[in-house]
Structure 1
């Protein structure tokens, strides 16, 4: 009798332990984030004005994407933590759970939907080309058959061969490296989203007068925040926060801060709303 009772108690303990372990395994990401008290956001840190290093002395990263990270963390009641990533490393870092969310100039594409889930679109922009004014190039079609450059792992690296099948594509780890290569004459154009190119011109200072952004767009992109697949509660919460930011006017204020008339970006007024995840 005592042996049976002992076995029964042991079985109950084991069953309880397994149930506890199963419960822990089933805990969703939203619960985990609140429990650890921080939201780890993957950012580029090299893509002005989305995320860039404001002051080399303290390495503080600021920008449009950073403000969204901060706003989401605040709404969740946790601390925002930024982790700087290379463009090509964004999705792998998210999949390997080294970051909780990508606020990193991530373009929503059908191909990427198999690897990551996307929130509502947070920015709409065009892919354009930056060239030297003395190159004689005034239209995108003139780039076909020439050396053009972009960032490794970017949506532009996918779209350039489609739009310019005869061009020689040269890829760099970061857009500052690509802009420098353009200055050094390693290619005739650097292709990126129009906001990144606008930020690059600002950074070029007096030399900006020697460059121009071609008027046509290679493609139109919708940027969104990236979240891991199979985390519906977290994705739904982030979308709820984004919709709230749109409704309250906070999203508009963030846009104006980084792209408005006082930003130095010389960018047109905001023509989109955060209300859809369709591409």
Structure 2
């Protein structure tokens, strides 16, 4: 019995040591293992998606790849979605998340964020010629993605515009593809989310869809990071700022959102630069 207890105690010590080693600062572990696990979308054009050849590409993919290159580590791409991206950072399944994630105070209670690396805003996508203003959508069914700030924003806007049944008129779907399908099939009058996502899907069927109205929210994207690891957060922030200053960021941006791209979207602001 005594021997069994000693063996059990020894096993517990080993497990605890392993757990503590794994739970150390993200920066130290990534630098030691030389691998960074990055959460990315796989169906969000043009931020992160799988193309017809099976390649995982997009703006966020290129930004993440460049960040890892500058940190001297190998990128390991991990698929996330709107529901899993925060949890996977919290639980240590990924080391950072570049996944259309607006930096909100509520989210900051759970994870940390980098400086803003992308600037977007929310709009409506409609079938061409069916609506020209926000008011045209009052009382209509609007698609949005479940568990996102977009869902909350569109509900609040409809209430402000006087829609008495705004809560029921916002129809929540699991992902972007389902929202777009609902719009194409006429199950909803519009789809509302960040404008670059809408541009990405509208580009799949040129001339059939259009964005209407101005931005009705600001959506500053940040890199989602584990809590309380300033060395890791600084490393990401410094790399982002260096990419901006040496022109790499603009090169990547123009590849996906420049005037000659399929998803043209003017750069609306500058990232925060520290002296």
Aligning the two structures, in what range does the TM-score lie when normalised by the shorter sequence? 0.7 to 0.9
Contact 2:202–2:208 (CA under 8 A) maintained in structure 1: no
The aligned residue for residue 7 of structure 2 is: none
C-alpha contact 2:145 2:151 (8 A) present in aligned 1: yes
Contact 1:120 1:276 in 2 (8 A): no
Give the distance between the partners of 2:60 and 2:127, measured in 1 at CA: 29
Superposed displacement of residue 37, structure 1: 1.8
The one-character-per-residue Cα deviations of 1:76-114 (angstroms, maximum 9, x if unpaired) are 111111111121111011111111100111111121111
Instruction: Report Cα offsets for 1:177-217 as digits up to 9, x if no partner.
Output: 1111101111100011111111111112xxx3222100322
8 Å contact kept, 1:121–1:276: no
Which residue does the alignment assign to 1:179? 180
**2:145–2:176 CA contact under 8 A, matched in 1:** yes
List structure 1 runs of 4+ shifted beyond 6 angstroms: 20-23
Figure out how many residues of one structure are paired with residues of the other and give that number. 255
Over the aligned positions, Cα root-mean-square deviation in angstroms equals 2.4
**Residues 11-36 of structure 1: CA distance to partner in whole angstroms, max 9, x if unpaired?**
xxxxxx9xx88984773111101222
Give the distance between the partners of 1:129 and 1:76, measured in 2 at CA: 38
Partners of 2:229 and 2:19 in 1: CA distance: 17
The answer to whether the 8 Å contact 1:117/1:228 transfers is yes
Q: Find the partner of 1:138 among 125, 132, 140.
A: 132
Q: 1:23 to 1:189 in 2, by over 3 A?
A: closer
Q: Which runs of 5+ in 1 are unaligned?
A: 1-16
Please give the alpha-carbon distance, in whole angstroms, between the structure 2 residues aligned to 1:221 and 1:23: 36
**Which residue in the other structure is 1:217 paired with?**
215
Q: Which residue of 2 aligns with 1:152?
A: 146
- Structure 2 residues not aligned, in runs of 5+: 1-13
How far apart, CA to CA, are the structure 2 residues paired with 1:272 and 1:33? 31
Match of 2:9 in 1: none
Larger Rg: 1
Report the Cα offset of residue 153 of structure 1.
2.2
Q: Partner of 1:7 in structure 2? A: none
Aligned-residue offset at 1:118: 1.0
Superposed counterparts of 1:154-169, under 5 Å: 154-165=148-159, 166=163, 167=166, 168-169=169-170
Shift in Å at residue 276 of structure 1?
6.5
Go from structure 1 to structure 2 and tell me whether the alpha carbon gap of 1:37 and 1:162 turns closer, same or farther (over 3 Å shift). same
Match of 2:11 in 1: none
Determine which of 26, 29, 32 is the counterpart of 1:32: 29
Deviation at 1:267, TM superposition (A): 2.2
TM-score (norm 1): 0.85
TM-score (norm 2): 0.86
Asked whether the equivalents of residues 86 and 173 of structure 1 are also in contact (C-alpha less than 8 Å), the reply is no
Structure 1 equivalent of residue 106 of structure 2: 111
Q: 1:6 corresponds to which residue?
A: none
| Cα distance between partner residues in 1 of 2:21 and 2:49 | 37
